[in-house]
Structure 1
């Protein structure tokens, strides 16, 4: 079997690493890939938004399965294009992918399906948005409607911040077309948790819970990022709450999309808030999260190819996903200055030493890296995700940071408190 994984981040490296363990898979291509995937697969210079180029690559290389990892190719219709070409593709079609591509669309689906979420208003007119914010007051949440690489959300604690965010997004055009429309929500208070499920159009199988760390600095300070680390499971959402979440969130959404003629197949990611009044949806993604994917795949014991194939066929073949009882923690090493401006081209050393700390229990997944003439260097804001597996959260955190200490990269930064909320919630 020949597989194409689309993307170039840590999530993509983790997917290739997991799929590579299946002896039925003869070759894996990655478009465009990174320094980590270069060592275990074949990187090809096709960008994630080049739908025609990706399909042509599949035809040329005889690809049997396409795995689009980031949201952009999904929202651009890679699944539809592959279907037209007779190629299996793991993910939702372009219509269902609007659950992530448009926050207002996702809100409309939630309301139609009866899924609990924050009160909101959607606006494509700046003056109307300002009037709504003034009427509601602060704190309030301002979101760019379209894709913004995880950075299009502002939690405004006062009116100055709220109006400033609206001006930047709708007048300053910092997110381009993605900010031509905004969703304005009431601010929900509580613990956030990531719940991901394999979906076959009708049924959903939940993976273990995970908790992401979005802010760039310790204690959840600083601007939002694509994610600075994650761990699994999150103590407040263990397996005894899976059925509640399936009934409340996933089943109604799957039923609604099936009625619309676009059954959701692939990974549905629900970002949830555990509020005093119950579980509410913050947002939907239509693919694996990054960095949640890395700890989750470290724990996954079932065959990933079989799970993906059964979703595409519309027939999940089991009732429960098997995972390790161990806890996993992923710690992101980023370039200094991220998510703002940062340097590139820093040489990276120490990965081999880190992975020797614990055979099969510690893996360094590459995000923004390239391998050229035997030298590994940085190319992006998030560079590596050091991911550890251990019997307890304390031990996983300790092992993960031991791995981080082995890495040598100038002008780098990382949070020192990944998993600390989990320790607190355990107590």
Structure 2
């Protein structure tokens, strides 16, 4: 089978790496891809926003499955147009992708379905939002309703911080994403990521992971897209995982189906493990990044078989997914200055030497390009050094040994990814 993978980041490199291991794969294409993905796939010059061009390519290349990695094409309805053209696609419809595309939509769904989540209010003007703030007080969490590229969420400890966040949204700081805001109570507890697959009816758990959002060691500094992750997440016990499925994921899928907008794809539930149990922070409708990297390292089932079953609505025919008993850990190497302004074009070397230290793992490219035959940085998060080990401690040791083999003065990483879990 020929497969087209949409995307260009570390998540997509991990998906390409795993898809390339499938016995069913004939040819893998990627658009636009990156130098790491190019080791597994033929890169094609397609703009995912040009749905007609994507469909035409799929028809001409006899593509049997399209895997959409990032959220923007999903919210824009690429899956709908592919499905209308008779092309199998892994990823939700535009209507179902509202679970990520609109935080207010998801909060309202949770309220109707009795899904545990933080108390909230939705507002489309500053005056009403400020009045609500005066009523509930601080601390609160202020969120731009729409997609804001991982930004647009402020944990405000004071009313002044909350008001500043509201003003940033309503004054256009996040474009159309901030035209409406959600104000939530601040939950307390450890955060964890839970993933499940759904074909619209059947729902199966996928895996757990825990990432590190802050830029610097000790969970200090600004929030980022993620500086590292490990899987499984020991803090999410089997009992808590089943509660998550029973109280959060299954009711969500049932509510979407009842509304006539069935969810097909992967549901990524960001959870807060509170004193009363798991509560939903928010949904993403695609594999997390960098969580995908550690999950792909552990997955032993044929990824192509699984994603095709989801796309064809026969997930119930797939038996339990097979996972390595090993733990996986990834360290994100980011360009100096990230998550602020970074310098592009700094040269990177030592990738082959690093991968030689990663049995069963890989160095995934998240933001690279080739210039005059040299690998250079082309983004904020640039590499994901991903290792397997018998436990988190061993995976961590291997990952950092590989990190130290990468020659890149223009980058940095956190040195405490998985440190607490390794000691537990």
TM-score of the superposed pair, with normalisation by structure 1: 0.96
- Shifted more, 256-265 versus 65-74: the winner is 256-265
Which position in structure 1 is the counterpart of 2:223? 224
How big is the alpha-carbon RMSD for the aligned residues of Structure 1 and Structure 2? 1.3
Provide the rounded CA distance (Å) in 1 between the counterparts of 2:400 and 2:290. 16
**Partner secondary structure for residue 218 of structure 2:** helix
User: What residue number does 1:249 align with?
Assistant: 248
**Once the 2 structures are TM-superposed, how far is the Cα of residue 272 of structure 1 from its aligned partner?**
0.5
Instruction: Report the CA distance between 1:240 and its aligned residue.
Output: 4.1
Residue 411 (structure 1) aligns with: 410
Give the Å deviation of 1:34.
0.9
- Structure-2 separation of matches of 1:389 and 1:119: 39
Residue matched to 1:154: 154
Residue 55 of structure 1: aligned partner: 55
Task: Name the counterpart of 1:371.
Answer: 370
Matches within 5 A, 1:12-411: 12-171=12-171, 173-316=172-315, 317-360=317-360, 362-411=361-410
Residue 242 (structure 1) shift: 2.9
Structure 1 residue 282, shift from structure 2 partner = 0.2
**Cα shift at 1:359:** 2.9
Asked if structure 1 preserves the Cα contact closer than 8 Å seen for 2:349 and 2:375, the reply is yes
Give the conservation status (yes or no) of the 8 Å contact 1:208–1:238. no
Deviation at 1:52, TM superposition (A): 2.8
Q: What whole-Å deviation, never above 9, does each CA across 1:47-68 have from its counterpart, x for those lacking one?
A: 3333233222222322111000
SS at match of 1:208: strand
Native 8 Å contact 1:232 1:329 kept in 2: yes
Conserved? CA contact 1:209–1:238, under 8 Å:
no
Change (3 A) 1:242 1:404: same
User: Matched residues in 2 for 1:26 and 1:17: separation?
Assistant: 14
* Partner deviation per Cα, 1:171-215 (whole Å, 9 max, x = no partner): 1x1211011111110000000010001112122211221001111
Maintained 8 Å contact 2:88/2:312:
no
CA contact (8 A) 1:230 1:331 kept: yes
Against the structure 1 CA distance between its residues 252 and 319, is the aligned structure 2 distance closer, same or farther, given a 3 Å change threshold? Answer: farther
Q: Counterpart of 1:10?
A: 10
> 1:421 Cα shift?
3.5
Structure 1 range deviating more: 237-246 or 38-47: 237-246
Hey, what's the Cα distance between the residues in 1 that align with 2:417 and 2:131?
39
For the 8 Å contact 1:218–1:415, the answer to whether it is kept is yes
Q: CA deviation at 1:135?
A: 1.8
Deviation at 1:160, TM superposition (A): 2.0
Mean Cα deviation higher: 329-338 or 365-374? 365-374
SS for the counterpart of 1:209 is strand
The 8 Å contact of residues 38 and 371 in structure 1, kept in 2 or not, is answered as no
Secondary structure of the 1:155 match is: strand
Segments of 5+ residues of structure 1 without an aligned counterpart are: none
State the secondary structure of the residue aligned to 2:358: coil
State the TM-score, normalized to the length of structure 2.
0.97
Runs of 4+ residues deviating >4 angstroms: none
Q: Which runs of 5+ in 2 are unaligned?
A: none
CA distance in 2, matches of 1:89, 1:50: 16
